[in-house]
Amino acid sequence: MREILKIEKKLGRIREEKYGPRVIDIDMLFYENRVMNYPVLILPHPQVQNRRFALTPLAEIAPAFVHPIFKQNINQLLDACSDGLAVVKHPG
């Protein structure tokens, strides 16, 4: 996690307000099938199942990966996701 925070800082991220605008945001969503709960890191990410912008690309690269807590694969989580945000793949 320290390395991720260093990368964000190097790329210009300034942490001023929670959920405020930012130039970069790196989140760890999963690490193998591990479940962790530390002050600086919770795995799996506690909101991944609610975020279409995270699930959509995950479904492209790992559709069969099973969430270690919910016991559903990424496609199932995406199908059940109530987030109405449109996710558009960047051309390129």
The one catalytic residue among 2, 15, 22, 79: 22
79 pLDDT tier (thresholds 50, 70, 90): very high
- Check which CATH number belongs to the domain holding 50 and give it: 3.30.70.560
User: Average of pLDDT values for 26-40?
Assistant: 95
Angle at 30 between CA 15 and CA 66, to 5 degrees: 150
Helix, strand, coil share of the chain (percent; to 5): 30, 10, 60
Q: In this structure, is residue 88 part of a structural domain?
A: no
Q: In this structure, is residue 75 part of a structural domain?
A: yes
pLDDT of 60 above 90: yes
Q: In this structure, is residue 86 part of a structural domain?
A: no
The one catalytic residue among 27, 34, 79, 83: 27
**Mean per-residue pLDDT over the chain, rounded:** 94
Q: In this structure, is residue 16 part of a structural domain?
A: yes
User: Average of pLDDT values for 45-67?
Assistant: 97
pTM for the model stands at 0.84
Q: Is 25 a catalytic residue?
A: yes
The one catalytic residue among 2, 13, 15, 83: 13
User: Average of pLDDT values for 11-36?
Assistant: 90
Tell me the three-class secondary structure of 55-90, residue by residue: HHHHHHHCCCCECCCCCCEHHHHHHHCCCCCCCCCC
The one catalytic residue among 15, 25, 34, 52: 25
pLDDT confidence of residue 16:
82
What are the two backbone dihedrals, phi and then psi, of residue 43, each rounded to the nearest 5 degrees? -130, 140
Tokens in use for 25?
Answer: 């945001």
Q: Is 79 a catalytic residue?
A: no
Q: Is 22 a catalytic residue?
A: yes
pLDDT of 80 above 90: yes
- Structurally, the chain folds into a number of domains equal to 1
Q: Is 27 a catalytic residue?
A: yes
